[in-house]
Amino acid sequence: MIVNEFIPKPYSHLLENGAVAYSAPSNIALVKYWGKKAHQIPANPSISFTLNNCKTSTTLKFKKKTTDGFSFDVFLEGDLQTDFKPKIEQFFKRIEVYIPFLTAYHFTIETSNTFPHSSGIASSASGMSALALCLVQIEQQLNPTISKEFFNKKASFLARLGSGSACRSIEGDLVVWGAHANIQGSSDLVGIKYPYEVHENFKNYRDTILLVDKGEKQVSSTVGHNLMHNHPFAEPRFAQAHSNMDALMAALKTGDLNAFISIVEREALTLHAMMMSSDPYFILMKPNTLEIINKLWAFRAQTGLHICFTLDAGANVHVLFPDNEAKEIQEFIANELSVHCQNGHFIEDNVGQGAQPIKI
């Protein structure tokens, strides 16, 4: 795959105005992306479950203009947002060569999340993928010959340039991003649907997100990724991600839940270990993050149930478990873990099938 395939031929005509809309999910990485090169190229491959309930819906209205440069307004839940503008402006700059009509229109971006904005759940993956999908939908109106396959590929390619993990939010249910020797079709440029057999144990896997800290992140992911340059453990970490991917592939095939747990928890703790050993170092876990992890381990030892956790770049805990153990584990979460959440809040989610167009 080469980047040039995403540069379109000149359009025969431009529409005067219009509107498109897409809903895109969040995703939770099992093998983590942490560290990147220029142009949003990941330092190692990652794989994630696409979520079902945590989503961003975006309507993109466009109207022809005659002025130069980018012109857009962003609304979140109906309110004009100026703090999102720099990130979107940077996104537009990165993708202008692939979406030449970006300067031809004034855009109104109306977006809303199913999860509260102040939940500490990153909306960049679902937000950037929804916006990328809207842009490709406009491109499809200008060039109706675009195939479904190319549509998804280009949306993932663009989303990656908005936020790396966003390229894993186009399709479901497991998505790989980053070239890996043993995964056919894997690429640093786009996320692809995991191409191999997955055991029944991983169907409709559950993810309950425990909202430990709803505040803004103290350290952005972008800053964290950059701290992997010159990190003393960077090279062994990147190599470990490749071998963890191999081990996870074996577990996904055979349905080995214990192997899955061991890889996923090690990945989460390694991610945070990288943060704790960078220069400057930082800690994103909170006391309640550790309380939850310790209680979860004790419950797993006591019951033999296949509950485990993963973490993103924050204090919230994603509790993962198989569908057929959901009843007991959900009771445990409500009775024992929710007390460690801010205002007792948690979000029940499960693995989903990817983004959907919205009829407008």
| Residue 6 vs 33, nearer CB to ligand DP6 | 33
| Residues in touch with ligand DP6 (CB under 6 A) | 29, 32-34, 40, 46, 122, 124, 163-165, 221-222, 225, 271, 312-313
Least gap, CB of 126 to ligand DP6 (angstroms): 11
Whole-angstrom Cα Rg for the chain: 20
Least gap, CB of 175 to ligand DP6 (angstroms): 11
Q: Of all residues in this chain, which one has the CB nearest to ligand DP6 in the complex?
A: 164
Nearest-angstrom CA–CA distance, 311 and 271: 8
Nearest-angstrom CA–CA distance, 52 and 23: 11
Tell me how long the chain is. 360
| Residue 29 vs 227, nearer CB to ligand DP6 | 29
Nearest-angstrom CA–CA distance, 285 and 219: 12
| Residue 220 vs 338, nearer CB to ligand DP6 | 220
| Residue 177 vs 332, nearer CB to ligand DP6 | 177
Write out the DSSP string of 233-288: THHHHHHHHHHHHHHHHHHHHHT-HHHHHHHHHHHHHHHHHHHHTSSS------HH
Least gap, CB of 160 to ligand DP6 (angstroms): 8
**Token digits for 136?**
């490709």
| Residue 105 vs 270, nearer CB to ligand DP6 | 270
Least gap, CB of 10 to ligand DP6 (angstroms): 31
Contacts of 294 (CB under 8 A, 6+ apart): none
Least gap, CB of 136 to ligand DP6 (angstroms): 19
| Residue 134 vs 313, nearer CB to ligand DP6 | 313
Write out the DSSP string of 76-145: ETTEE-STTHHHHHHHHHHHTTT-GGGGTEEEEEEEEESS-GGGS---HHHHHHHHHHHHHHHHHHH-TT
Question: DSSP code of 11?
Answer: P
Least gap, CB of 244 to ligand DP6 (angstroms): 12
